[in-house]
């Protein structure tokens, strides 16, 4: 089979829920905090946590940012959370029945930008750095909240993001419930969990005004990305073969392969890392993908023992 195989969504969901419950108990935590963006990744993570612990032990943080450059919202250096993203985050929290706080972090992020910026010589790199800063600020606040009430934090990254290096060290969390899920599978899990249709059906997006959808940025659909990565990592297909199967132009396939190689280095990606607590909980993935994670199991456990001792 060349494309990513279909998976048992109910089984995957149950494994995630069991994993969240088990790790929370093992760490002696009283609950979990999730940072909600308004997108499908954080919504799915929230629902998994809610099913694992119950809504009273899950808390959501919504942290929009509104920074105008020279008072001009249309300027490319502006960093403005879409109002619709905040509304979708609120919809997710309310539908899940969990407690939540809405915190505007504009002032905090602005202070960092004003104090530590080199300048705006390269606006493209500057805006990218500013966007990462917002994500990291959210992570710091999420962990700070958790530390005060003996909660742990749940990251919302998916396997496709780590596989392509789309996550470049922008965050850190105690556990990553969706870390072993390909993005195309995550949509099915979200539907199974009862995540609102509005969240599932909208195109994945950074959440900032002026940014394109993820698929436009990547130049490929989520399914094409997952199929290509699966073929590249586990079937060793040539670029030409992958192009024919995915229907992507050969040049795009080569660019994506380059992105995988460079992206892994940029993000510090390692098959044993950010999913180190997840892979051992997903024996069906080892079977489907040919057991690529087995060599790392002892390393996971040794690392975890050091981290949580």
Given a cut of 60, whether residue 47 has pLDDT beyond it is yes
Predicted local distance difference test score (pLDDT) of residue 168: 54
Given a cut of 50, whether residue 307 has pLDDT beyond it is no
Average pLDDT, the chain: 78
Give the confidence band of 208 by pLDDT, cuts at 50, 70, 90. low
Predicted local distance difference test score (pLDDT) of residue 57: 97
Given a cut of 70, whether residue 196 has pLDDT beyond it is yes
Given a cut of 90, whether residue 199 has pLDDT beyond it is yes
For the stretch 51-69, pLDDT in tens is 999 999 999 999 998 876 5
Predicted local distance difference test score (pLDDT) of residue 198: 94
Q: What would be the CATH architecture of the domain defined by 9-308?
A: 3-Layer(aba) Sandwich (3.40)
For the stretch 247-288, pLDDT in tens is 999 999 999 998 787 656 655 545 444 333 333 334 434 433
Cα–Cα distance measured from residue 125 to residue 224, given in angstroms and rounded to the nearest whole number: 27
Q: Where are the domains of the chain?
A: 9-308
Predicted local distance difference test score (pLDDT) of residue 95: 97
The helix (run of H) or strand (run of E) holding residue 36 is strand 32-36
Give the confidence band of 295 by pLDDT, cuts at 50, 70, 90. very low
| Interstrand relation of 79-80 and 32-36 (parallel, antiparallel or unpaired) | unpaired
For 75-125, the DSSP string reads STT-EEB-HHHHHHHHHHHHHHT-EEEE---HHHHHHHHHHH---SSSHHH
Cα–Cα distance measured from residue 94 to residue 2, given in angstroms and rounded to the nearest whole number: 40
Phi (first) and psi of residue 154, to 5 degrees: -110, 120
Predicted local distance difference test score (pLDDT) of residue 209: 52
Q: What angle do CA 99, 101, 105 make, to 5 degrees?
A: 160
């Amino acid at each position: 089979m060349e494309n990513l195989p279909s998976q048992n969504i109910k089984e995957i969901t149950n494994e995630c829920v069991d994993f969240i419950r088990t790790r929370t108990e093992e760490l002696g935590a009283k609950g979990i905090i999730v940072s909600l963006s308004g997108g499908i990744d954080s919504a799915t993570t929230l629902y998994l946590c809610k099913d694992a612990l119950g809504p009273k032990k899950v808390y959501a943080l919504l942290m929009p940012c509104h920074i105008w450059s020279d008072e001009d919202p249309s300027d490319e250096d502006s960093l403005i959370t879409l109002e619709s993203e905040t509304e979708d985050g609120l919809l997710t929290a309310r539908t899940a029945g969990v407690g939540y706080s809405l915190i505007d972090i504009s002032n905090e992020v602005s202070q960092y930008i004003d104090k530590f910026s080199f300048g705006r010589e390269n606006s493209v790199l500057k805006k990218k750095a500013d966007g990462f800063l917002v994500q990291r600020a959210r992570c710091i606040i999420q962990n700070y909240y958790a530390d005060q009430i003996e909660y742990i934090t749940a990251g919302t990254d998916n396997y496709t993001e780590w596989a392509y290096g789309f996550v470049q060290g922008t965050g850190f969390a105690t556990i990553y419930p969706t870390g072993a899920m390909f993005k195309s599978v995550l949509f099915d899990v979200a539907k199974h969990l009862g995540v609102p249709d509005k969240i599932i059906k909208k195109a994945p997006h950074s959440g900032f005004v002026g940014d394109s959808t993820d698929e436009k940025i990547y130049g490929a659909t989520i399914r094409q990305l997952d199929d290509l990565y699966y073929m590249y990592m586990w079937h060793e297909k040539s670029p030409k073969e992958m192009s024919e199967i995915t229907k992507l132009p050969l040049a795009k396939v080569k660019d994506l392969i380059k992105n995988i190689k460079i992206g892994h280095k940029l993000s510090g990606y390692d098959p044993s890392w950010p999913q180190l607590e997840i892979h051992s909980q997903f024996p069906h993935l080892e079977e489907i993908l040919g057991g690529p994670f087995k060599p790392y199991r002892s390393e996971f456990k040794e690392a975890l023992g050091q981290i949580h001792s």
